[in-house]
Chains A and B, each alone.
Chain A
Amino acid sequence: MKILLVEDNERVSQFVMKGLQEAGHTPDHAANGRDGMFLAASEPYDVIIMDRMLPGGIDGLAIIEVLRKAGKRTPILILSALSEVDDRIRGLRSGGDDYLTKPFAFGELLARIDALHRRAAGVNVEGPLVVGNLHMDPMTRRVTRGDRQITLQPREFKLLEFLMRHADQVVTRTMLLENVWDYHFDPQTNVVDVHISKLRQKIDAEFERPLLRTVRNAGYMVTAAD
C-alpha cells in the first residue's frame, strides 16, 4: 500500500515509517505542511496519515480541506495530540476519514490504515464472508465452520462479522468497542477480551486450527494463514 505520512516529529516519523515498511507498505514522508500538500496533491496514495499541528503554525486540517476541495478522495487518517471530542468532530468534518490521538499504539494505527483502505476499496459488502472453513452469510445470518452450524448471539454475530470483514487485518479493542458496541470511550476494562474468548469458544474450541488470534499489544485477527 502506498502511504503518505505528514508528520514533523522526527522520532514519531521514524518509528511509523519503519513500522509501515515492516508491514509491507511503501511509505513516503513529508516533514512539513508544504511538502505534504505537494506530495498529497501530485502522487496517488492509498492512504494519507496527517498530523494536525505542523511547523509554521499550519493545521493539517487546512491541508485536508484544500485536498478535498481539489477533489482528492484519498482516505485520510488524522493523527493528533488534540483529544477532545470537539477536536475529533472538527477533524472529521474537515474531510478526514478517521482520527487517532497521540500517543498511540502502532498496531492501532496499522489496523486503522488497513480498515480505511479496505473501506475505500469497497470490498465485499453484501456477499458471504469466508475465512478458511468458516463461513458467514450476513443475509441469512447463518454461520458454519466446516459442516457444523454455529449459533451466535446477535452481538456475537456482529463481533464476528466485523472481524471477518477485516480478515487478515489486526482489529484493535478500540475498533471493536466503536464498531460493535458503539462505545466511543474507553471503559477501562478487559470485557472485550472476555467477549472474544466466548466467541473463540464457539468458533475455535473444537477445531485444530484456531482462526481467531490474539495479536500481542495490538488486538485480534481472524485469519486462516499460519
Chain B
Amino acid sequence: MPRMIRSSAVSLALSYTLIGLIALILFAAPLWYAWQGTIREGRAEILQADAQRLGDAYRREGLDGLKIFIDARVRMQIAGDRILLLTDGALRPLAGNLAAWPRVPTAPGNYRITVDMGPSGIQTLLVHVTNLGPNKLLVGRDNRLFAPLEQRFWYGLAGAIAVLFFAALLVGSITRRALLSRINSIRQTVSAIIHGDLKHRLPTHLSDDELNTLSLTINGMLEQIELLVHGVRNVSNSIAHDLRTPLAELRSRLEELALMRPPPEAAFAEIDGAVQDVDRVIRIFDALLRLAEIDAGMRRSGFVTVDVADLAANAVEFYAPAAELKNIKMTLHAAEPSKVGGDPVLLAQALSNLIDNALKYAPENGAITVDVRRHSGGVRIEVGDDGPGIADAEKQKVVERFYRGDASRGTPGVGLGLSLVQAVAKLHGSAVELTDGHPGLRVALVIPLDGDVPGRGP
C-alpha cells in the first residue's frame, strides 16, 4: 500500500477525494444545521399545540378533569412516547408519567433534557413547560423518534464518502497501471539506449497527451545525439586517416634518417621536412580544437557588434596578392554599414576560409566575388568563384568535417575549411547555403543582426 500511495496517480486520486470530501461537508453541514433547526421548531410547535389542548381541558373541566384526561392519555399510549407531568405550585406531581419534576427550569418555555426513564433507559427529551394557574404542566417528547431519520442522513453521508474514496482508489490504480505500463516501456527503451543501442526510439502514438509529447521530445533529442555520435565516429575515423598520413611520412623520414645517416646537408633538409610534417599534424589538431570550441557554443560570450563589411574588406585585401598570383579578379560589393552581433575573430576566420577556398578552386584568370549585403533580419555574406563548382549530390557533404571533394585532391588543406564556416554560421544561428554560380560555386551565410540564437544560452 505505501508503494501504491507513493504512486503519483494514486496520490492524485486521493487528494481529489479529499477535495470531494471537503466539498461534501461544506454542502452537508449547513443543510444539517437548517434541518435540525426546522425539526426542533416543528417539534416545539407540536408540543406547544399539545400543551394548548391540555390547557383548554384545564380551563373547561378544571384541575381534576385535566388529571383524568392526562391519566387516560398516559394509559393509552406506549410509555415513553409522550411525556406528561402536571404538578402543583410546589412541583409535587399530580398526574402524568414522570415521577418527579426533572432538572428543568420551571419558567415557561422549550427545553432539552436528559431523563432516566427507568425501563426504557435514558432518553433525550424536548419539553415544553407552561403555567396553568398555580400548577405547572410539562409536555415532552422522546427525541429518539427522529433518530432513524438522522441515522439515515449519516449513513447516506458515510456511503457517499465511501463511494468517493473507493472510486478514487479505483481510478488511481487504473491510471497508475496504465501510466506504469507506458513508463515501463519508456524505461526499457532508455535502458536499451544506455547499453549502447542508439537506434531505439520511445513508443509514440497519435494522441497529444503529455507523455506522448514528452516521448516525441525525447525522440528528437535521441535523433540529435545519434547524429552527433555518428559525427564523432566519422570524425575520429577521419582524424585517424588525416593524422596517420603525415605521421607515417614523418616516421619513415626519421627512420630513413637514422638508417642512412646521410651527409649533413641532406640530413638538415630531411629534418626540415620532418618539422613541416609535425606542423601539419599540429594544424589539424588546432583546427579540430577550434571547431570543438565553436561547437560547444562557448564563444557566444565573445559576441560584440561587428561590421561585416569591414571584415570582408580586410579579408579581400589580405588575399589580394594571392589572387594576383593566379591573375584572378577579386571584387568586393559591400553595403555599408553591415553591423551584426557576432564574434569578430570567428567571422573573420569564416570569411578568410571562404575566400581561401574560392582562390583554390577558381581557375587562372578567373573571378571571385565577395558580396556583403543587408538581408531580412541580418547581413548576407556570399563568396562566389567561377571554378568547377560542386555537384548537387556533394553539396551537403562538403560542409561535413574532413570531407574533401574529388576536385580538391592534390590541393593543400585539411578539409576543415567549410565545416568551420558551417560551425561559425551555426554559432550565429545561421547555416551555410551552397548554390550554383553557373559556373562555379556560391557559398553564403546570413548572420542575424542581434546574433540571437533561439534555444541556445549564452
Q: Which of A's residues lie within 8 Å of B, judged by CB?
A: 83-86, 103, 105, 155, 181-189, 191, 194-195, 198, 216-217
Contacts and interface: CB of A to CB of B under 8 A. Distances in A.
B272 A195 contact: no
Contact of A83 (B289, B352, B413): B289
B318 A181 contact: yes
B282 A188 contact: no
Nearest to A181: B318
Contacts of B272: 216-217
B364 to A, nearest CB: 16
Contacts of A188: 283, 287, 353, 356, 413-414, 417
Interface string B260-286: 000000000000100100110011001
B383 to A, nearest CB: 14
B325 A194 contact: yes
Interface in B323-377: 325, 345, 348-349, 352-353, 356
A187 B352 contact: yes
A187 B317 CA distance: 14
Interface residues of B, number: 30
B293 A84 contact: yes
Nearest to A194: B321
B87 to A, nearest CB: 105
B52 interface: no
B321 A83 contact: no
Contacts of A186: 283, 286-287
Contacts, number: 58
B160 interface: no
B302 interface: yes
Nearest to B299: A85
Interface in B291-332: 293, 298-299, 302, 314, 317-319, 321-322, 325
B290 interface: yes
Contacts of B352: 183, 185, 187, 189
Given A191-B321, A216-B272, A185 B283 contact: no
A189 B289 contact: no
A217 B318 contact: no
A183 B347 CA distance: 11
A187 B356 CA distance: 8
Nearest to A185: B349
15 contacts: A84-B298, A85-B345, A103-B282, A105-B275, A183-B349, A183-B352, A184-B345, A186-B283, A186-B287, A188-B283, A188-B287, A189-B322, A194-B325, A216-B272, A217-B275
Given A86-B298, A188-B413, A183 B318 contact: yes
Contacts of B286: 83, 186
A188 B413 CA distance: 7
Contacts of A185: 290, 345, 348-349, 352
A136 B118 CA distance: 134
A83 B298 CA distance: 14
B348 A84 contact: no
Contacts of B287: 186, 188
A185 B311 CA distance: 14
A105 B272 CA distance: 12
B319 A191 contact: yes
Contact of A194 (B278, B322, B353, B356): B322
A84 B299 CA distance: 10
A38 to B, nearest CB: 34
B44 to A, nearest CB: 89
Most buried by A among B275, B321, B322: B321
